[in-house]
Amino acid sequence: MKTKLLIAIATLLATIALTACNNGAEPQTQGVQETQAADCDRQCLENMMKQYLNALVQHDPSAVPFAADVKFTENTAHIPVGEGLWVTATEGPSDFQIYAADPVAQQVACLVMMKETNKPVLLGARLKLVNGKITEAEHLAVRDELNAGQLANLEKVRPALLEDLPPEDRTPRDQMLAAGEAYYVALTGEDGKLAPFAPGCERRENGMTTAGTREQQAAIPISNPDPDTRKMMEVMAKMPRDCEGQISTGAFTYITDIKERRVPIADEQKGLVVGFSMFWHKSDVKEYKVKGVPGIDTAPSFQGTFNLPAMHIYKIRQGKIHEIEAIGFQLPYGLTSGW
């Protein structure tokens, strides 16, 4: 029921928004082994992640250089290397692949569509290297929560997320990290101006367009909505569709807090920032005040008591957030990220 509720609220956002990297799946290992005793450059880090994903599908942890004291989590649980997706992955990344690598932090992240037990799985993964060894490995796997409309948007990556930025469009690393952190501040502060959104910013969550005006490949209808859902739909139909304006209406008041915020990766070449966080939903707000929408004062708040671990990838161009690709899934209320 909670999953259906979450899909319903995301669908509402998607419906309103809608109305208005694949470099090859085979791993590139050249340069990885050669630099194990030294820091990896950007390409080396990306190659390491591709090698890691290939090892995952081959169920062979020995194919990548884990440190003896590596810390590994999957969907926030601490488990031994060799378990989880190391057992169940059945097919490597499709055409949907995003890589963000940060030589300064010696960390790399990816967001890819794979298969687990021959079913689609949306995997966000992060690796940290020290002296060429993997000391941290983190998986966030979205399973059994992807419908046809979402899968359609997860066939190909939006081109802007894959492009190298020309020097004049790049943003200093510290400002990129600050922009990623500002997104959480804007959500909890109910003020879109607290984050540097570009006017055409588009956000997708688990493949669903939840902010922006570009048309999605497949709509996700809501049939026979209950009275509260119907009122939500009526309210959201009049709300701003852009990233900044949508947040400023108070529509995300149902988020109690965003804890365990980490923004560890800034890829200056691609203009990508990667953030991890835990969304807390206490479900104690039944109705919220709608701000800045003429004729609407209040609206029912989304209900559901749960935590949601999330990964966000932001495209930063000239200091502004232009695209957001996010994933998340529900966990029992009160659980932590494992980090």
Q: What is the pLDDT of residues 252-298, one digit of tens each?
A: 999 999 999 999 999 999 999 999 999 999 999 999 999 999 989 99
**Could you tell me if 68 and 143 lie in one domain?**
yes
- Which of 153, 177, 210 is the last residue before a domain boundary? 153
* Mean pLDDT score, 310-319: 99
Q: How many domains does the chain have?
A: 2
**Could you tell me if 149 and 169 lie in one domain?**
no
Residue 19 lies in a domain: no
**Could you tell me if 95 and 179 lie in one domain?**
no
Residue 13 lies in a domain: no
Q: Name the nearest CA neighbour of 113 among 142, 138, 84.
A: 142
227-236 helix and 2-19 helix, angle to the nearest 10 degrees: 30
* Mean pLDDT score, 209-235: 67
The whole-number pLDDT of residue 235 equals: 74
- Residues 47, 131: Cα–Cα separation, whole Å: 16
Q: Does residue 236 carry a pLDDT above 90? A: no
**Could you tell me if 134 and 46 lie in one domain?**
yes
* Mean pLDDT score, 209-218: 70
**Could you tell me if 179 and 260 lie in one domain?**
yes
**Could you tell me if 175 and 145 lie in one domain?**
no
Q: Does residue 22 carry a pLDDT above 60? A: no
- pLDDT band with cut points at 50, 70 and 90 for residue 17: very low
- Which of 98, 126, 153 is the last residue before a domain boundary? 153
Of the CA atoms within 13 Å of residue 8, those in its CB half-sphere come to 19
**Could you tell me if 133 and 276 lie in one domain?**
no
- Which of 153, 182, 212 is the last residue before a domain boundary? 153
* Mean pLDDT score, 75-99: 98
The whole-number pLDDT of residue 178 equals: 99
Residue 122 lies in a domain: yes
Share of the chain above pLDDT 90, in %: 75
Distance (Å) of CA 2 to CA 66, 91, 330: 37, 29, 8
The whole-number pLDDT of residue 272 equals: 99
Per-residue tokens: 136:
């941290």
Q: What residue numbers bound the domain in which 68 lies?
A: 33-153
The whole-number pLDDT of residue 336 equals: 97
CATH number at residue 295: 3.10.450.50
User: Mean pLDDT lowest for which of 32-36, 61-65, 182-186?
Assistant: 32-36
User: Mean pLDDT lowest for which of 16-25, 100-109, 291-300?
Assistant: 16-25
**Could you tell me if 170 and 79 lie in one domain?**
no
**Could you tell me if 126 and 257 lie in one domain?**
no
Residue 210 lies in a domain: yes
For the chain, what is the mean pLDDT? Answer: 89
The whole-number pLDDT of residue 63 equals: 99
Residue 18 lies in a domain: no
Look at strands 107-116 and 97-102 and give their pairing: antiparallel
Coil, helix or strand at residue 239: coil
- Residues 323, 57: Cα–Cα separation, whole Å: 29
Residue 26 lies in a domain: no
pTM for the structure as a whole: 0.87
**Could you tell me if 189 and 290 lie in one domain?**
yes
Summarize pLDDT for 214-224 with one digit per residue, the tens: 654 444 455 56
**Could you tell me if 56 and 97 lie in one domain?**
yes
Residue 21 lies in a domain: no
- Residues 142, 144: Cα–Cα separation, whole Å: 7
**Could you tell me if 193 and 137 lie in one domain?**
no
Residue 336 lies in a domain: no
Note whether 16 and 313 are within 8 A (CB): no
